[in-house]
Amino acid sequence: MILTSYSLFQRDFEIYEEEKVKFNYAVLDEAQYIKNFKTKNAIIVKKIESNYRLTLTGTPLENSIGEI
């Protein structure tokens, strides 16, 4: 289990990638930080190797259901 922030994960991602780390679950809090698929956070998160993903947010939908 790794508990980290988006900025630290982004900084350390090469290490996880080189070691071919695969997670059973990826639980991502504050999902609004990855809703724009062109951001560095979203690009890195899409590369996470995991069997399951769960995103959490306390922020209600701002624009459309497509933000989910």
Express as a percent the part of the chain with pLDDT over 90: 56
Which of 10-19, 49-58, 59-68 bottoms out in mean pLDDT, i.e. has the lowest? 59-68
Backbone angles phi, psi at 21, to 5 degrees: -70, 130
DSSP letter (8 states) at residue 36: S
Q: Is 24 helix (H, G, I), strand (E, B) or coil?
A: strand
pLDDT at 42: 93
User: What does the pLDDT average to over 44-66?
Assistant: 84
**Residue 16 — left, alpha, or beta (φ > 0 → left; ψ -120 to 50 → alpha)?**
alpha
Question: pTM of whole model > 0.75?
Answer: no
Mean pLDDT of the chain: 88
| Secondary element (H or E) of residue 54 | strand 50-55
Q: Is 23 helix (H, G, I), strand (E, B) or coil?
A: strand
